Amino acid sequence: MREPNHTVGEKGGAAPARHVTCPSPRPASLCRVLTKCRDPQVIAHRGMSSLAPENTLAAFRLCAEHGVTRFELDVDLLADGTVIVLHDSTLDRTTNRTGAYHELSRADLGRIDAGSWFSPEFAGEPVPTLDQVVDLMNENGLDANVELKVRRVPAAQQRALVTAVARDLDRLDPDRDVLISSFSPLLLHEFRRVVPGARIGILFENKRMNGLWHSVGLMLDAAALHPSDSTVTRKSVRRFREAGYEVNVYTVNSRERAEQLAEWGVTGVFTDRAQDFPEDWRA
């Protein structure tokens, strides 16, 4: 997921499981009613990323402490098939190391500090693996949005990422909910093939997608659309909702803007500052 535009204090196939079952499409009239039923859900962008280093277990644990029930994380693959949680394609920005990581293995993670860049308080915080995050979700009753990162890698490596993510998520408790998102319809299509019952969210950031969302959504049997805050409009939200999709907007750090989006009928907002939102938005 790209960086936020707003600041306020401003960042062989697996069997389908119950926690990824896609709900039946809702009729448009019911969708219009549902937009008035509850406030949008706050989704902690890379965890509580204004309080702890992004995409770390520390940031995800803080979700439970602040009553935030859903967070977003980014995943990618190491050479040995380990799925790690990291946003960038290199280690430079958020660790004490530099360079790409795709040739590393799980054993190398112990030498990487993903916390000191944020604060000395988090020195030694490791780059987490997806299976560690799954354990944390099960222990704390948390749900997640898992973003499959789009990289310039061979198709076989992309398929390997999908298979490995599906493997790790299969360890989730049945009552946990996961939404799989990506900017790549091809990656999402592959995930749909591997996990037929997966809940899919389509990320997009430019206005050109506004003319394609319907066909892409149908192709992927998507549950949600995730438009950029910089491109979403009242009209587009209404069209998305009337078509039966959840609409989760990224990245929104302004309460005033979030309240406007709520009035438009969005179902969720990704934010770096989940702690600033009312408790009923966090549940």
Q: What is the CATH number for 84?
A: 3.20.20.190
Whether residue 105 is contained in a domain is answered as no
The end-to-end CA distance of the chain, in Å, is 22
Q: Is 66 part of the annotated catalytic residue set? A: no
What span, in angstroms and rounded, lies between the C-alpha atoms of 8 and 169? 34
The answer as to whether 86 is a domain residue is yes
* 164 C-beta neighbours (distance < 10 Å), count: 19
Domains contained in the chain, number: 1
In order along its 283 residues, the chain shows pLDDT tens digits of 755 443 333 333 433 333 444 333 444 333 333 444 478 999 999 999 999 999 999 999 999 999 999 999 999 999 999 999 999 999 999 999 999 999 999 999 999 999 999 999 999 999 999 999 999 999 999 999 999 999 988 999 999 999 999 999 999 999 999 999 999 999 999 999 999 999 999 999 876 666 789 899 999 999 999 999 999 999 999 999 999 999 999 999 999 999 999 999 999 999 999 999 999 999 8
Quote the domain boundaries for residue 62: 23-91+128-282
Whether residue 65 lies inside any domain: the answer is yes
Single-letter amino acid, residue 232: V
Domain membership flag for residue 102: no
The answer to whether residue 45 is catalytic is: yes
Is residue 104 in a domain? Answer: no
Is 144 inside a domain boundary? yes
Pairing of strands 70-77, 143-148: parallel
Residue 113 inside a domain? The answer is no
Query: What gap in Å lies between CA 104 and CA 120, rounded to an integer?
Result: 25
Cα–Cα distance for residue pair 168/101, rounded to 1 Å: 20
Residue 112 lies in a domain: no
Q: What tokens were used for 140?
A: 């704390």
Amino acid at 77: L
Catalytic residue (one of 45, 66, 102, 214)? 45
Catalytic residue among 6, 19, 87, 189: 87
